[in-house]
Amino acid sequence: MGFQDNSGDIIFDVVLTDEGRRRLANGTYEIKKFALGDDEINYGLYNITASSFDADLEILQTPVLEAFTNNLSSMNSKLTTYANNDLLHLSVFKLNELADANKTHTLGTFVVAVDGATENNNDAPTATTAIGVDNGAVRQGVIYGQSRNSGNYIRIDTGLNTNQVNPANRNQYPNFLRESQFLIQMDNRLGFITSWDGKQIASQAAPVDGDGFATYLLTVKDSLFVQMNNDTSNSTQTQVIQGPRGPMLWFSIGSSLSLQQNTYLFNLLGSDGTMASTSSGTQAVKFIDSIIKITGINTGYSINVPVRYVKLA
């Protein structure tokens, strides 16, 4: 991936994804929809003191990214058109870490312990090597990827994040801004989506692509994954959205069989390091850093959740 010179003529640099190439090969390729994004644009470059002809000159000449096919990296900032010109607030996604069960690890990421030994020494939480326990309790931000019974999970809240609209004024939160469907994209080689309690695996709505990424489509009908946030209080102890709230997405992560049984992907994609084990010190580990991308179907708003997969070295 690189940058292209955008100081002259407009350049169209187009590549097909793996799915696009597959459809082109079997004769079913057809463009029916498209999306636009402005990932490269820094609107802070707009010069309000310049003439109307030059105010956005630096923005127009900003280098653009070469086209690339990685689903998880492209189109993070989709452009959306709304017919209402009087909208003062738009819906956003925010990571909710207010409860102990959905806080990130002290490393600033969610940590998936990929096997029983890494989780809690195969149910011996007083042993000293596991990184998923702290003084006999599940460590903050650690998700048990194999047993899937840590009780920790990821929660994404949606809504109008403004103190200008009371959370109880739901009529000021238009339905077309409320999300009813969420796309979750993640590296299928590393893990899969489960319900918040780890008991149910999410069904996939699309096949795994050539880069190894799986796409899940979760809707408000999937009550184990998506629930309405009916809290209309101004509480900052439980809520991260200040104004009216929409559906919240909560889920956990299971580790792939490959990560559970061997270190091949850790050696291929990851690094070696150390992490706090029990109260007695640190433990040598192998880890892979990744992200899970969540996108709302209605608004195109997306958020990236950092995840670290960890295995005892």
pLDDT in tens, 110-125: 999 999 999 999 988 7
DSSP state at residue 267: H
Residue range 196-216: average pLDDT? 84
Residue 11 predicted with pLDDT over 70: no
Identify the pLDDT of residue 268: 96
Band (296; pLDDT cuts 50, 70, 90)? very high
Q: How far apart are CA 211 and CA 17, in angstroms?
A: 9
pLDDT in tens, 263-282: 999 999 999 999 998 766 88
Identify the pLDDT of residue 9: 60
**Dihedral (Cα; 40, 177, 180, 34), 10-degree rounding:** -40
Residue that the structure tokens 């005892």 belong to: 312
Band (1; pLDDT cuts 50, 70, 90)? very low
pLDDT in tens, 231-266: 999 999 999 999 999 999 999 999 999 999 999 999
Lowest-confidence pick of 8-22, 170-184, 241-255, 280-294: 8-22
Residue range 287-298: average pLDDT? 94
Identify the pLDDT of residue 14: 75
Q: How far apart are CA 163 and CA 148, in angstroms?
A: 37
Question: Considering the chain, what percentage of its residues have pLDDT values greater than 70?
Answer: 91
Identify the pLDDT of residue 183: 92
Identify the pLDDT of residue 124: 82
Under 8 Å CB-to-CB from 214, ≥6 apart: which residues? 185, 186, 187, 188, 192, 204, 206, 208
Burial of 221 (0-12, 13-18, 19+ CB in 10 A): exposed
Average pLDDT score over the chain: 88
Question: Considering the chain, what percentage of its residues have pLDDT values greater than 90?
Answer: 58
Q: Are 308 and 104 in contact (CB under 8 A)?
A: no
Identify the pLDDT of residue 138: 94
Q: Are 177 and 247 in contact (CB under 8 A)?
A: no
Residue 201 predicted with pLDDT over 90: yes
